[in-house]
Every structure is written in structure tokens, then in C-alpha cells.
Amino acid sequence: MPRKSVLDLQRMKAGSQRIAMITAYDATTARLVDKAGVDIVLVGDSLGMVVQGREDTLGVTMDDMIYHGRCVARGLQSAHLTIDMPFMSYQVSPTQALENAGRLVQEGGAQSVKLEGGARTVDAVRLIVEAGIPVMGHLGLTPQSIHALGGFKVQGRSDAESERLIEDAKLLEDAGVFSIVLEMIPAELAKDITAAVHVPTIGIGAGPDTDGQVLVSNDLWGLDASFQPRFVKRYAELENPMVVAVARFVSEVRDGTFPGPEHSFHRSRGEAKVARLY
């Protein structure tokens, strides 16, 4: 079965079918979320925080995104694969943006790319789309701009900010994006933007009225009990069971009960006779 295309995803909006998107950073995770039936897998630059242990996404490179994209692509059979364009991979010029988008497709296995920002990214979006590479937009809280935004804060609370975000969404649609992520904005604004554009909107911390939802896989699985933002719903609590499992392994190694006979290999009788000759 071929992987979902951007046309499939746009038909989902037309048919009022909600879109489920989740992040993955390796082949094993990709295989599992694909098996569970997600529509889109995002190789997010959130890997800077989730995988690399950074405080933000700003240190993630093109090589990082390409490497993790290749890994994820190998684990997918049906889900659409989109890859984030990292900080400073598209901000310099539309030509730079096109070159790097092309690398994510050629080297990273992306079916589409995602970049942050509204009016300021329109020229880059248009050039990438004209080259035949689908683009997903990203508005609201844009993590690559946290220093300008003053941190990880809800965006679009004022009337002026709301109007600007609605206008940005329309500009992105006109430039050719096939969908738009809306992050950490009031639910009412996300509903207005979803009604204002014809392309699917995918929310994270943006209420229930977008065309789809996205979560970071590690958050969904509860792999970090200390990270509990309001917009995350944990569908499992895996941190403690994983720690307990490793602790059991450590204990059994130290007391000599692992590996047992059932985990060990033995020579056959013929092999043993040959060994005794020498």
C-alpha cells in the first residue's frame, strides 16, 4: 500500500475526517506509530530537545534532520512523512530554502517539508512548492523564534495578533501550502483560521476544532514524567515501567541470574569431541 499523499490528506478535510499526526525520530518508533494507523509522521526539529537533550530546537542541523528522516522513512509503510526544516535552513533566502528542502526529499526521504512563519516565509514557500515539493506551514508558537517571542508562550491572544495570524494563514494558503500546523493559540482563533482556509489545519495546544491533531510521541507515551504542559494528553505512563525493567536487568546481572541456561548457547556433542582433540 502506498504512503498517504498530500492529496489524500486534503481529501480527509473535504470529507470531515480528522487527521492524526505524531512525531518519530527512528525506524522502530516509525514502525510502531505507522502500525497504529497515524496519517502523518513528522520528523520534528523537536528532536533537539527529545533526542539530543537540548533546551530548544535552535541547534538542530540539516544533517541531523536528514539522518533521522532516513531512519524514520525505513519504518513507514502507509503514513505520510514530513520533515521539519531546521533553524537557518530557509531564513537566508528562498533559494537557500529550496536547496535545503530538496535535500530533505533526496537525502532524508521526505514527502513534504514543514517550515515556520507566516508572511516572512511566503516567498520561500512559493518557490519550494513551484519546484514540486509539498510544504506544510506552521503558525502560532514557532519554536525557532522563541527568543523573539519571549519563550514558549501562547500566541494570538489579542485582536491584533489574531488578525495577523488569520492573514498569515491565508497568505500561506495562497503560496501553496497543503496544510498548516497551529501551535499554542486560543481555541477560538484556531477555529476561525480553520474556517478561513481550505487546507487542513493541524493543532497542538490549539483546541478541538482544527482538522487534525499532533503530539510528540515521547509526550504521548509519558516518557518524561517531569514534562507536563497543559496541551499534552498522556496515553501511557511508560517512564516508570521502563526504569523498572532496566533496574531488574541490572539486578539480575549483578546476582548472576541472567543470563540463564535458556539464554545461552551450547556446543553439540560432535563439536565437543572435536574440541577435545586439540
| Catalytic residue annotation | 183
The answer to whether 48 and 57 are in contact (CB under 8 A) is yes
Cα-to-chain-centroid distance, residue 89: 17
Residue 231 has a CB neighbour count (10 Å cut-off) of 15
* HSE, side-chain direction, 13 A CA sphere, residue 235: 7
CB-neighbour burial class of residue 20 (10 A; exposed 0-12, middle 13-18, buried 19+): middle
Helices marked H in the chain:
6-14, 27-35, 47-50, 62-74, 94-106, 122-130, 146-149, 159-175, 187-196, 217-221, 239-255, 269-277
User: What phi and psi values does residue 204 have, to the nearest 5 degrees?
Assistant: -145, 110
CB-neighbour burial class of residue 264 (10 A; exposed 0-12, middle 13-18, buried 19+): exposed
Residue with cell string 511508560: 238
